[in-house]
Amino acid sequence: MQRIFKLEGKVQQYAWGGYDYLPQLLNQENNEAKPFAEYWLGAHPNHPSKVLVSTPTEAVGVTTENLDAFIQQDATNVLGVPVEERFHALPYLLKVLDVRQMLSIQVHPSKVEAEKGFLLENEADIPVTASNRNYKDDNHKPELMVALGSFWLLHGFKPEAELKQVIDRTPELQSLAPVFEKEGYKGLYEKVMTLPQVEVNARLEPLAKRVVPLYEAGKLAKSSEDFWAARAIQSFCKDGQYDRGIFSVYFFNLLNLQKGEGIFQPAGMPHAYLEGQNVEIMANSDNVLRAGLTDKYIDVPELLKHTEFVGTVPQIIKASGSETFYEAPVPEFGIYQYEVEAGYLKTLLTDSAEIFLCLEGEVSLTAAGASLSIRKGEAAFVCAQTEVELQSGAGGKVYRATAGCV
């Protein structure tokens, strides 16, 4: 049986995406200047990748199958016994993101809560594709990202001492200090996220008058919360109506990851991506609860219901030489980064069904007598329990996605 296949993903053209990075990576034209936000590689039923199950001939073109259907034809053989018995499907989704505009303030539900929410929305006859749907599937969505360059994000609530400092030094937030002192993270965040819109406007308009002129004059550094607040005001606030998501810019950890650095975000952790490109791996889900800084559906009560109101000390994962394993504390996934030089050769055994994604240069994979090369922007799908020879003549960078339960 063939064990290794070319894999074609799906581009998601969300409004916040960039115009150049993903088209250049994927060698696609973008003459209409559409936003290329995410490139999905996986078997999510709403957007499955395509497996190239045959090579073209003069008479017949390439034959493809949806990855989810391809797996189910022989799930035990393709996924491996541990993954098939536990998940019955490919448990992860691999993505490349290009964040041009700030993403929504968001939280992902736990597995149990995702199952409940999905069932309730089904019983309410809300179509899965509806714009007002919170739960697109019944799975949780823990995620791990690796920066492909300088990448900015918000990640969990600041530790208590840091949050107090930010409140104290930001004139427009100082009146919230007693709330945080008496009611902690939950009381503080619920207050600003449930204020009547007129009060949101009254609190944020003075902030806008202070920070937007500084932003426009180039006097704010990206390491300042004021920079991102001003950008959010310009992007999302119209006609004197201010987006309450701006409070989160000050309350959450503001991080700048460098190339090769990774970070994990569990269920319940509030976060938002701000700028840059990354590789992201997550449980096979599209469940996102949003509370601001977006044109998509917002459901503040549902987000608050699932938020963990605790201070977070960010745990940044550093790259470690030519081969780095970014381990996640969940059974669905893990991811390797290989920075390979010319003449590189490594033999490995796939424990589960795995996806190899080349982002720089070119690498070749040989398995069960078959060989294929993947260049920049190309990917391969390899069945479980397959001995693979990974090599590169000229060097390159490749990410290897795997299940974490084996």
Structure tokens at 360: 């720089």
pLDDT at 305: 96
- pLDDT tens digits, residue range 278-301? 999 999 998 999 999 998 899 999
Binding-site residue numbers for Zn(2+) are 106, 108, 143, 271
> Which residues are 157's β-sheet partners?
252, 311
Q: Please state the φ and ψ torsions of residue 58, each to the nearest 5 degrees.
A: -65, -30
Cβ-contact 154, 252 below 8 angstroms: yes
Rounded-to-integer distance, Cα 1 and Cα 330, Å: 31
Q: How many CA atoms lie within 13 A of 188 on its CB side?
A: 27
Binding positions are 106, 108, 143, 271
pLDDT tens, residue by residue, 230-259: 999 999 998 899 999 999 999 999 999 999
With a CB cutoff of 8 Å and minimum separation 6, the contacts of 122 are none
Residues in contact with 293: Cβ distance below 8 Å, sequence separation at least 6, in sequence order: 102, 103, 104, 105, 232, 235, 236, 243, 245, 246, 248, 272
Extents of the domains making up the chain: 10-48+84-154+257-303, 160-251
Tell me the catalytic residues.
Answer: 290
CB 133 within 8 A of CB 126: yes
Tell me the β-bridge partners of 50.
8, 66
Cα atoms in the Cβ-side hemisphere of radius 13 Å centred on 11: 21
Summarised one tens digit per residue, pLDDT across range 49-89 is: 999 986 554 444 578 999 999 999 999 999 999 999 999 99
Residue 3: is its pLDDT beyond 70? yes
Query: pLDDT, tens digit, for every residue of 348-403?
Result: 999 899 999 999 999 999 998 899 999 999 999 999 999 999 999 999 999 999 99
Q: Which CATH number fits domain 10-48+84-154+257-303: 2.60.120.10, 3.40.50.2300, 3.40.50.150, 3.40.50.1980?
A: 2.60.120.10
